[in-house]
Structure 1
Amino acid sequence: MVFSPTSIHGCYELSPGVFRDQRGSFVKVFHEELFQARGLASHFAEDYYTLSRRGVLRGLHFQTPPHDHAKLVYCPHGAILDVALDLRLGSPTHGQHVMLELSAEKANMLYLPPGLAHGFYALSEQALVAYKVTTIHAPESDSGVHWDSAGIPWPDREPVISPRDSALVPFDRFASPFKFQSGRT
């Protein structure tokens, strides 16, 4: 597995080995020792997935402390534009984002440390997006910032979004509880 740093500290694009044969492919999405060797979170408390149709935008979501978490995201079916937005006060990349295409074909993944908001836009007819997170979902800590308030160049100005996501606070009005810690990934 190749761990490639993005422009945001602690956020990585991961490219696992893909084993292909006449039956299809096999991909290992997580190996605890590889994550630990790089100082990344390796204890995941929950796994879940979403299924979205083309044009759906989900995000930008996160959990606030004390339930903030690291997240590993991948797209085992279809393709998405995946985004991480740095919310950490004091971070040299505060307010900046990373946008990557994640797809079943590429088998790539995105690792987000605590303090980053996450969202994605479904590019394919259907996109299955899987998440591994280091804390249990806590409704009282579930939060987000409005999808079009942080200068992210989404491919669609009128995506399909949920009522909850349309009501999220704009980035410039979000009082971040996240603090940058250079050693924390």
Structure 2
Amino acid sequence: MNLDFRPTRLPEVIEVVIEPHVDERGWIGEAWHTWQFATAGLPGAWISTKFVESTCGVLRGLHWQRAPHEQAKLVACHYGEVFDVAVDVRPDSPTFRQWVGVTLSHERRNLLFIPRGFAHGMLTLSPTSRCSYSVAFSGHHPESEDGARFDDPAIGVVWPAVPAVITSAKDAAWNPLA
């Protein structure tokens, strides 16, 4: 059982694909392995894991935590399908405001690694999705929360079409990324 680490067009954001062992019972594969993550240059000390269930059109994000409480995330979709997005929010980065999106699902056997300094957002494409995300480097610190509107024209995320977008009042109130 191996993991295939595939850089996206933002090379610090990595799609992780599970290469499972398949037999007559189904399949088994590792979603995380300390040695394989370390070899790929990714963190392996996850602090917490959250589970999220959403209905079609629910859009969560764009969120991140400011220093000194920046987080890296490892996102997986265990049921249904989501479009998962990472946006570079580091003002001094040559890829500032650039984004990458990856469709995650159990069938695709993929996860998305989002490093510190990147915002995260997800849109549920299926009738229901059940996802998890593990965080590294820091737990949740409300005083360090930050965000940007999912439809910020300076970022320009091209979200897949859904019947209606459902977002929280908090997410709708974020300002554009400065």
TM-score of the aligned structures, taking structure 1 as reference length: 0.88
SS of the residue corresponding to residue 46 of structure 2 reads coil
> What does 1:15-164 correspond to in 2, within 5 Å?
15-134=17-136, 135-149=138-152, 150-156=155-161, 158-164=164-170
Alignment deviations for residues 10-53 of structure 1 (CA, whole Å, 9 cap, x no partner) = 11011112334444432311001111112211111111110001
Identity %: 38
Deviates most, 47-56 or 153-162 = 153-162
Q: Distance in 2 between matches of 1:66 and 1:151?
A: 27
The answer to which of 60-69 and 20-29 deviates more is 20-29
The code of the aligned residue for 2:53 comes to L
* Structure 2 portions without partners, runs of 5+: none
- Which deviates more from structure 2 when the two are superposed, residues 36-45 or residues 111-120? 36-45
- In structure 1, C-alpha distance between the alignment counterparts of 2:169 and 2:106, rounded to whole Å: 28
Q: SS of the residue aligned with 2:45?
A: coil
Q: Which amino acid aligns with 1:6?
A: T
Task: Letter of the 2:156 partner, please give it.
Answer: G
**Structure 1: where are the runs of 5+ without partners?**
175-185
CA offset at residue 61 of structure 1?
0.7
Q: How many positions carry a matched residue from both structures?
A: 172
Query: Normalized against structure 2, the TM-score is what?
Result: 0.91
Q: Please give the secondary structure, in 2, of the residue aligned with 1:49.
A: strand
**Counterparts of 1:19 and 1:62, CA distance in 2:** 35
CA-based RMSD: 1.4
Stretches of 4+ moved more than 6 A in 1?
none
Deviations along 1:109-165, one digit per CA (max 9) or x if unpaired, are 110110000001101111111101011111111221111002111124840001110
What amino acid maps onto 1:104 in structure 2?
H
Choose from 160, 165, 173 the match for 1:167. 173
Counterpart amino acid of residue 112 in structure 1: I
How far apart are the structure 2 equivalents of 1:160 and 1:25?
Answer: 34
